[in-house]
Structure 1
């Protein structure tokens, strides 16, 4: 019973980590992720007192070094352009807050299960995403539940931006879509490694829940689904058709999922509207023969804007957000949305602190990838590579990134992962 309570509390902590929100009972600006980061202090004290291991590793020092150029190029752009938009100046703070919050979650996992691994952490994150998707779907059909959940969140920085979009508890828009996509790619890899049928079914059912409902919340989710399919094709070619037969479970789940979706789509107007929004491109392709979505039309027709001078290309204009909203001295052109009217991540980086700042952001995530790639065993190296590819793709759509996923993965040491894999190998040999 105590372990079940521990698992539930850890699941809640993982949810607060992956989808942080500002509770309506707390002052504006304090979200649940910051609370988790604050709780990292006693976790660190416990670690130092009882495990007698250093927390500041070479990997952490290297990550610190890679965050410095981002702040320096941001400061240079602010000073040269005389702007007060500090959108990326303190990105290093975000890195360490996410890592501190992630350390709290992973410490709870290790305390409850007496071990820690990428697979165990992934199971919690997958569970969180499934629960958020189910909650969001129930909120669409139950107005009272929707009012209750919305009442738990401060409108500052979240509810005001969601509008009528489908959402969960702190889970909405491209941010949710990117994290759903990341979890889908992790599921795709873990599904090929799973040994028990229970695990394979858990991953299979979770994959379809997140793919279908998650895409209604944030359409970036579909990118993770596409990368997962490509990975499975690569995997089947590489292993020459052998493996654990996960594709049989996929086909079986697909045969069940499609009829359910068709029936609900045909009978429920709410689900009809949400499904058409989430899979707008597919419906457009079937009905008109062309892949078209409203967001992509806006993206390609209005947001592809390049700098027209060398100064902006090199050090940027010092604006990330809409300058008319936070700079009282700005007298330039008015934009809808972000500076220069573009939400494309790479362009926003360039307009804020130039190509050098953009490359410093890319370099940091390559550092994340390299650290995870070297830390975990050969069987899980693909996770870091898939996450890096996904992150680079997401920046074609928005500036949201996969820092939360990389940060919590970095809280798992190579020793913890090796101990877990050794135990699993022994268990398989015994059975």
Structure 2
């Protein structure tokens, strides 16, 4: 559905490339290395069309994140309340999806067919947003909320939004705790820290009161803390058995061209690992891991390393947080950088330009 917006913003996006020529030149160079390197790994390896198709999907998603990152910035900079409305609508949609099977099944039509085939069998375990699901959806929801707090005028009412974001987003995926904790710690303000404290207490309370449904699943780590004294999740513990390295120099150098196990009739990851870095390593070698990381974080590094200007601490802290989130979540599964990384880059560029105008 998002592709229908491309023709309406394509001209503006082309003008943007002229305005940020060096940025796009660097992006094209890195993307070319990633894209054609992946194709070469497939040709030289033992993969199937399923593997190269997944490579194309990941590549296409990176391109779309750049385009829609700018689109989000363009829309929100003129009216940041539109982002708040989007957040409130998503919260409502997610809450309804927890209790209404028909609505949940309706939302399956707005996610990928393969994901829909899986999620149709787990109603009552996970919630869905409108186009938001699993880890990527939960990360988007949390990052969007903190980005709104970054660009909106300070308000105690707006900050209280954070209290609701944790239980709602963790009902989508428990990984939401990662961006929530990192962004919350780096965000300045006593009220923010108070909201974080209240949200944690809320999750602890819910873990004692709720006995079924997505909220019950989302409070697993809090329930384990109360029962065993440690924050841990069974799904994360299972990853411990997925960490192993190739035993061949050739695999390190070139990979084997596989994301999936073609010998299994079921959808299985190659070598049985869901770890993002290892999936890249086995597909196209160690070089592709570094190129993938560079492609996803270079825009944020530009924000972090740029000169200071009024309000730059909050922007740079946000960029640093996104880098940390990206590195951490890829230890659990393969994830590209959030769409808001590019949104933040364009926001930071305009903030610097405005600071220069004021200075002169």
TM-score range normalised by the length of the shorter chain: 0.7 to 0.9
Q: Output one character per residue of 1:36-60: Cα deviation in whole Å (capped at 9) or x when no partner.
A: 2333225458x69xxxx93452111
Distance in 1, matches of 2:165 and 2:202, equals 17
C-alpha distance in 2, partners of 1:416/1:299? 41
Root-mean-square deviation over aligned CA pairs: 3.6
| 1:384 is aligned to 2:351 | no
Distance 1:376 1:35 in 2: 38
Distance, in Å, in 1 between the alignment partners of 2:30 and 2:347 is 20
Displacement of 1:403 in angstroms is: 4.1
Aligned-partner SS, 1:212? helix
CA contact (8 A) 1:368 1:406 kept: yes
Q: Which residue of 2 aligns with 1:218?
A: 173
TM-score, normalised to structure 2, is: 0.81
Out of 395, 400, 406, the residue aligned to residue 341 of structure 2 is 406
Change (3 A) 1:106 1:375: farther
Change (3 A) 1:285 1:214: same
User: Which of 57, 69, 91 pairs up with 1:133?
Assistant: 91
- State the 1:360 CA deviation: 0.8
After TM superposition, the score normalised by the length of structure 1 is: 0.69
Q: Aligned partners of 2:35 and 2:202: how far apart in 1? A: 52
Give the aligned partner of residue 251 of structure 1.
Answer: 194
In 1, the alpha carbon distance for the partners of 2:25 and 2:355 equals 26
CA positional deviation for 1:105: 3.6
- The SS at the match of 2:90 is helix
SS at match of 2:131: coil
Larger radius of gyration: 1
Aligned pair 1:201/2:162, yes or no?
no
Paired residues, what number? Answer: 348
Partner SS for 1:318: coil
- For residues 344-394 of structure 1, give each alpha carbon's deviation from its aligned partner in whole angstroms, at most 9, with x where no partner exists: 101101011111110111122231212333388423112111111110111
Match of residue 235 from structure 2: 295
Task: Tell me: CA distance 1:291–1:334, structure 2 relative to 1, closer, same or farther (3 Å).
Answer: farther
| Cross-structure match for 2:104 | 146
* 1:367 lines up with 2:298 in the alignment: yes
Report the equivalent of 1:279: 219
| 2:139 aligns with one of 178, 188, 212 | 178
- 2:173 aligned with 1:230: no
Partner of 2:251: 312
> Partners in 1 of 2:303 and 2:135 — Cα distance?
24
Moved more, 218-227 or 86-95: 86-95
For 1:79, the equivalent position in structure 2 comes to 43
- State the distance in 2 between where 1:74 and 1:287 align: 46
Q: Residue deviations 1:172-194, cap 9 Å, x none?
A: 11111232343466468x3xx97
Unaligned runs of 5+ residues in structure 1 are 1-31, 114-119, 236-245, 325-331, 426-431
Q: Contact 2:224–2:230 at 8 Å: present in 1 too?
A: yes
- SS of structure 1 residue aligned to 2:132: coil
Q: Does the 8 Å CA contact 1:129/1:210 hold for their aligned counterparts?
A: no
How far apart, CA to CA, are the structure 1 residues paired with 2:111 and 2:243? 33
**Structure 2 portions without partners, runs of 5+:** none
Query: For residues 97 and 302 of structure 2, what CA distance do their matches in structure 1 show?
Result: 39
